[in-house]
Each structure stands twice: as structure tokens, then as C-alpha cells.
Amino acid sequence: MLKAIIWDYDGTLVDTRQKNLNVTRSIISAVTGKPADMFPVLNSVAVYDEANMKSANWRELYKTEFNLTDEQTIYAGSLWTEYQLLDNTVINFFIGINEVIHSLSFYKHGIVSQNSKQNITEVLDREGVGKHFKMIIGYEEIPFSMQKPHPEGLLQCITQLTKLDNEGIILYIGDHETDATCVHNANNTLSRKAIYSAGAFYEKHDASGNWNIKPDFKVNHPNEILEIAEALNNQ
């Protein structure tokens, strides 16, 4: 039986590409003391999004594209919530997501993200679905060395949401190879196939053909999540 549905946030629930670019431009300028325009990857949403999808996580992106030290990367991460709240770029749920969450409201929902818990909570409440999410794991809740694709955050979320027995399974939905890898690592920790991954590719290119770890399902429109949940619940 399907016990719970856990979501990534950026690129899965909401389209944050423009906002994250704006915030990263501000953070990198503050950390390096250089204008954001000096870094080609920050010149457009398309270029930034491509670099982000190729990186295992934001830490690798910051080190590779901006040549930050470990200390600078940690400092950049500490600025994320503050700079997110200062930025006024409007972000919205992907079309159809709100309806899907309400349709699946009888399941327990959680979020495991490398965004800030405060930012996530504010958007969920604004969209009227905050009450459905019983557990939110932001980057602040997990040690720096245990961010995705390390399974710690996902396993913590599952522990808080539900007690997995030998029959219970979880669906985790994310748009990045890091999410599929996180599910793979969590299943290895649990020593069984307890978590199924779904790649969220609505409104974007399906890049999973180049992933080392492939998702169990692909979602080209949010409504397909309803079909996946039903299939998992009846298997």
C-alpha cells in the first residue's frame, strides 16, 4: 500500500528558475565581491538552468561555476533564506499541481528540498495546500555533508510521516537526477524497494536519458501523478 507522497520543491511543485537565478546572482556577488555579469552562467535562465541540471546539487554548481571554496560555499548556503525573502520575483505552482495535491489529500504529504523550509512553507500556505504537508525537510534541517543525494533527509521525512512495514511504499517526485539517486540510496539503506521515484518533466525537457540512476516513472503532466499513485497503491 502507498503510505505517503514526498515531493521535491524547486522544479517539481513550483517553477523557481527565474527567482533562483536572481537570488544566486545576489549571493554570488556578495560572496565573491564580483558583479554577477562576470559569470556567464548567470546571464540567462536557460544557461543557469542547464548548468543546474548538470550539477549533482547546488554545492557542486557553486564550486564548479564560481570556483568557491568549501568555506565560501557554506557561507553562500547560509545566505539563501535571507536573499530568497528579499527577492520579489513571483513564483507559482506548475499548472495542475494544486488540483493533484487536493485529489491526493487522503495521503500523507511531505517535502524534501534543498530550498529553505521557511520559503517553502510560505508558498504552500499562499497556495492553500500547506495543511496537507505534514513534514517539510529544508536544507537547514540536514547537515551540509548529508544533503541530497545522501538519503538522510528523505529517510527523516519518511520516519516522521509514516512507519514503514514490509508492505508499505513511498512515492518521491523530483525533477533532477539527484532526486532519483537519493531514492536509490535510501532503498539501499532500507535494504528493500520501499521508495519509488517519479521524474517530473512537465514544462521542461526530459533529461533522464543521461542520468546514471533512472526514475521508476516519468511525469509529463501533473495529472499522471494520480495514475502513478493508483498503480502503486494497487500493486
> Cα(134)–Cα(136) distance, rounded to whole angstroms?
7
Specify whether the CB–CB gap between 200 and 215 falls below 8 A.
no
CA-CA-CA-CA torsion sign (13, 19, 21, 26): negative
Which region among 83-87, 152-156, 216-220 has the lowest average model confidence (pLDDT)?
A: 83-87
Judge if the upstream peptide bond of residue 143 is cis by omega within 30 degrees of 0.
Answer: no
**pLDDT tens track for 155-169:** 999 999 997 766 789
**Backbone conformation region of residue 133, classed left if phi is above 0, alpha if psi is from -120 to 50, else beta:** beta
Across the chain, what does the average pLDDT equal?
93
Give the residue, 145 or 2, on which the prediction is more confident: 2
**pLDDT tens track for 50-102:** 898 888 778 889 999 999 999 999 899 889 888 988 999 989 999 999 999 99
pLDDT score, position 15: 93
> Cα(212)–Cα(58) distance, rounded to whole angstroms?
18
Residue 145 burial (C-beta neighbours within 10 Å; 0-12, 13-18, 19+): exposed
Specify whether the CB–CB gap between 122 and 13 falls below 8 A.
no
Name the nearest CA neighbour of 62 among 48, 83, 81, 44: 48
**Across residues 177-201, what is the average pLDDT?**
96
pLDDT score, position 206: 85
Residue 137 CB partners (closer than 8 Å, separation 6+): 110, 111, 112, 113, 117, 153, 154, 156, 157
